[in-house]
Amino acid sequence: MTDQIVPDTQHRGLIERLPQLPRDLAQLARFDRPIGWWLLFWPCVFGVWLTGAGFQVQLLAWLLLGAIAMRGAGCVYNDIVDADLDKKVARTAARPIASGRVSKRTAWAWLAALCLVGLVVLLQLQLTSQLVALGSLALVAAYPFMKRITWWPQAWLGMVFNWGLLVGWTALRGDAWDNWDAIGAIYAGCICWVIGFDTIYALQDREDDALVGIKSSALRMGARVHLGVGMFYAATIGLWGFGVWLYRPDIFALLALAPVALHLAWQVATLDPSDADNPLARFRSNRMAGALMAAACFVIGNAGA
């Protein structure tokens, strides 16, 4: 059974104990790899905490459930679309649809179930936030095709993965339009963050991607990947800082970004593409980067309270 568990699972023992179909469905939705929903959830926290409305535990609990469900739904949809490509890449060949263990019909049914959970979460939000959330569907639907037409699918992923920032903000400040320049700058910074960390993730597949014709920023950067990731992370901090200054022109607000800036610098300094385990570890460390940025947003949002 162990050969049916994808190599980068984080819950091998738990997943292996499940019966075959539940195991495959859990893998299909990436429940065994929580880093994905953390990276989808953190921008929601950014938006909520920047409003200065306090912790908002109940709202964040709903958004966390939505992040888990919709990240799972996105992965199922991605695997349906990419089944033929996944068969040709060593890291993804064992995925449930690519390996033939789950039919596309079953996968579509599982996708619908996950979307129903997302709908329950959507109904907990105010109307403006609901409309904003629905606006992401076109981006999500187009994402699996980006790797076929552009070297920068990570930029599209950045737009998708950080939509929660806009959802979280409008959940509490749906009628406040005076800070949208600041939120826009922070959203742009989040896109650069995703390009950086997903480039690191894509380092695992460079050889296979080149053979099957999949495009990625990791391939585009080639030997200059340290410089490329470093530039995108620098742009991340620069845009976050610009957005923070527009929102709260205070040097102490900018200093709140120092921990996350140092963390991103550490990622670049210690990144080793030649080490098979290093890129995945650096990619996963962005859960901490998200936590540090969330803490900064809480400080910035509540500084004037």
pLDDT digits (tens, 9 = 90+) for 154-166: 999 999 999 999 9
The per-residue pLDDT for 2 is 42
Asked if 225 contacts 272 with a C-beta cutoff of 8 angstroms, the reply is no
Closest CA to 75 of 177, 150, 175, 157: 157
CA angle 170, 173, 179 (to 5 degrees): 95
Residues 6 or more apart whose CB falls under 8 angstroms from that of 52 comprise: 301, 302, 304, 305
Nearest C-alpha neighbor of 30 from the set 62, 64, 78 = 78
- CB 44, CB 67: distance < 8 Å: yes
> For position 6, what pLDDT does the model report?
55
pTM over 0.75: yes
pLDDT reported for residue 80: 96
Q: What is the pLDDT of residue 226?
A: 95
The angle, 0 to 180 degrees and rounded to 10, between the axes of the packed helices 137-149 and 153-161 is 170
Q: What is the pLDDT of residue 5?
A: 55
Q: What is the pLDDT of residues 100-134, one digit of tens each?
A: 999 999 999 999 999 999 999 999 999 999 999 99
Residue 253 to residue 268: CA distance in whole angstroms: 24
- Alpha helix segments (H runs only) across 29-150: 35-50, 57-81, 83-86, 104-122, 127-134, 137-149
Identify the pLDDT of residue 88. Answer: 85
> Per the structure block, which two tokens stand in for 272?
């080793």
Cβ-contact 29, 75 below 8 angstroms: yes
- Please tell me the predicted confidence (pLDDT) of residue 246: 97
Q: How many residues does the chain have?
A: 305
**Rounded distance between C-alpha atoms, residue 293 and residue 45, angstroms:** 9
Looking at residue 1, its pLDDT comes to 40
**Residue 29 tokens, joined:** 């939705």
Say how many C-beta atoms besides its own lie within 10 A of residue 105's C-beta: 8
Given a contact cutoff of 8 angstroms between Cβ atoms, the answer to whether 106 and 113 are in contact is no
Query: Each residue of 155-172: b (16+ CB within 10 Å) or e?
Result: bbbbbbbbbbbbbbbbbb
Residue 3 burial (CB < 10 Å; 0-12/13-18/19+)? exposed
Task: State the virtual CA torsion across 116, 118, 119, 122 in degrees, nearest 10.
Answer: 170
Residues of the chain short of pLDDT 50, as ranges, are 1-3
